[in-house]
């Protein structure tokens, strides 16, 4: 007979988990998220469970199971790697008329834990005849379909209101957050910039209005004031507006200005953080912005104005004296002046530098140089925006990784 699916509201209710291994490590966080009062019985626990115990979120009895442990529980999970112990736990729960789940034997388990997932306010639970792998695969397909809108019509969704400032990530459309993609699928109007993942716009229904708010360096530009007006004008018409940006809205994205403008006009704003390019683009090129024994700090700098310019608020002399990694944005046209200033203030001209253009995109390319040679190398290579410049010894870590891979790829 097929099982009867039921959503349990566990807030404040005791749930007994017997076993502290990998299965418990997966199930305990979900029980805590449901508000359960989790009691864990096991001689040993995994480090992740130990962390929850130390935080006071789980009550741990550091001993084997013994009869009577099920008393007072609303739900019991028998998840040890000993079948005899699991059978004894389930037998006690049955005697006390408490629902239980046995992880090692689906046929002997009174209850099954469905493969579950969340898409917005929808919770999906899948059982596949006791086959957990098949259930997880079906669950993933359903959740992905709900998240990208394939399984739910726009008319059936609870429509958000106001404006969402959505970080689209560094360029690759696969790097937008799940929440960002959900809100984009529900938009009536999308105000996008040139660094946002434009491939996602092709997935929008034809009735969605797309407003191009590109700011092209040394080219056509939509003013920030006009962008602010777009957001308020459409939101006041009752439309849900998504401001789709590259990177993160609050990292050199002027998201704060847009949020302030909306607040002044009484427009609610949702902020969806994005993967920011100063970290993601170096990572895509194999460069960690921090590395043990090399750099324990990194500085993200907007170089849209050159050192010495009256509008610059950057302390270039302090950055030059720092041993940390420098990640420079919008620096392509001003790199000769930046390199000269850093060397003048104390950075060695031999400091390694990497320049990554079109990071995370199919056309990504990178060059390495030194602080003394990078300006000429960029000119010779024809580097153009968008590009991220990384200054510091972490650049050599990427070289080391490449050398190790090359050595391992050689014939013995």
The catalytic residues are 193, 215
CA 381-383-388 angle, to 5 degrees, is 130
Q: Is the Cβ–Cβ distance between 39 and 17 less than 8 Å?
A: yes
Burial (0-12, 13-18, 19+ Cβ within 10 Å), 410: exposed
Is 244 within 8 Å of 193 (Cβ atoms)? Answer: yes
Name the pairing type of β-strands 122-126 and 241-245.
unpaired
Nearest partner of 57 among 33, 73, 75, judged by Cα: 33
The 3-state secondary structure of 247-261, one letter per residue: ECCCCCCCHHHHHHH
**Taking Cα atoms as reference points, which of 66, 75, 61 lies closest to residue 15?**
75
CA-based nearest residue to 317, from 327, 307, 309: 307
Residue spans of alpha helices (H) in 46-106: 47-54, 83-95
Would you call 243 helix, strand, or coil by DSSP?
strand
CB atoms within 10 A of CB 371: 23
- Say if strands 163-167 and 269-272 run parallel, antiparallel, or are unpaired: parallel
Q: Are strands 122-126 and 115-119 parallel, antiparallel or unpaired?
A: antiparallel
What is Dmax (Cα atoms) for the chain?
80
Packing angle, helices 224-236 and 255-264, rounded to 10 = 40
State the alpha helices, DSSP H only, in 237-330.
255-264, 277-284, 316-321
Q: Residue 267: name the closest of 239, 247, 248, 295 by CA.
A: 239
Tell me whether residue 198 is exposed, middle or buried, using C-beta atoms within 10 angstroms of its C-beta: 0 to 12, 13 to 18, 19 or more.
middle
The order of strands in the sheet holding 269-272 is 209-212, 189-192, 241-245, 163-167, 269-272
């Amino acid at each position: 007979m097929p099982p009867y699916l039921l959503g349990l509201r566990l807030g404040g209710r005791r749930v007994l988990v017997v076993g502290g291994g990998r299965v418990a490590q997966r199930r305990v966080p979900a029980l805590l998220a449901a508000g359960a009062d989790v009691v864990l019985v096991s001689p040993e626990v995994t480090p992740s469970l130990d962390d929850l115990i130390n935080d006071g979120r789980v009550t741990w009895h550091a001993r084997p199971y013994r009869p009577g442990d099920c008393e007072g529980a609303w739900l019991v999970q028998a998840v040890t790697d000993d079948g005899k112990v699991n059978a004894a736990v389930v037998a006690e729960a049955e005697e006390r008329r408490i629902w239980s789940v046995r992880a090692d034997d689906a046929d002997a388990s009174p209850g099954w834990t469905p493969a579950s997932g969340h898409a917005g306010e929808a919770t999906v639970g899948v059982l596949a005849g006791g086959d957990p792998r098949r259930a997880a695969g079906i669950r993933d397909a359903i959740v992905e379909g709900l998240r990208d809108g394939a399984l739910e019509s726009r008319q059936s969704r609870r429509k958000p209101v106001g404006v969402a400032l959505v970080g689209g990530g560094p360029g690759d459309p696969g790097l937008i957050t799940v929440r960002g993609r959900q809100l984009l699928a529900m938009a009536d109007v999308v105000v996008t910039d040139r660094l946002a993942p434009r491939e996602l716009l092709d997935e929008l229904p034809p009735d969605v209005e797309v407003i191009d708010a590109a700011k092209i360096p040394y080219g056509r530009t939509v003013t920030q004031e006009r962008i602010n007006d777009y957001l308020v004008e459409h939101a006041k018409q009752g439309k849900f507006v998504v401001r789709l940006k590259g990177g993160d809205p609050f990292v050199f994205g002027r998201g704060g200005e847009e949020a302030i403008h909306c607040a002044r006009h009484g427009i609610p704003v949702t902020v969806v953080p994005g993967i920011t390019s100063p970290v993601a683009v170096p990572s895509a090129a194999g460069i960690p912005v921090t590395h043990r024994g090399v750099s324990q700090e990194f500085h993200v700098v907007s170089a849209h104005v050159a050192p010495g310019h009256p509008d610059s608020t950057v302390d270039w002399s302090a950055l030059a004296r720092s041993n940390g990694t420098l990640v420079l944005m919008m620096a392509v046209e001003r790199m000769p002046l930046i390199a000269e200033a850093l060397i003048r203030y104390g950075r060695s001209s031999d400091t390694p530098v990497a320049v990554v253009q079109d990071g995370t995109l199919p056309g990504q390319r990178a060059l390495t140089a030194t602080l003394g040679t990078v300006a000429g190398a960029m000119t010779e290579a024809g580097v153009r925006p968008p590009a991220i410049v990384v200054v510091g010894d972490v650049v050599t870590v990427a070289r080391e990784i490449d050398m190790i891979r090359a050595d391992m790829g050689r014939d013995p």
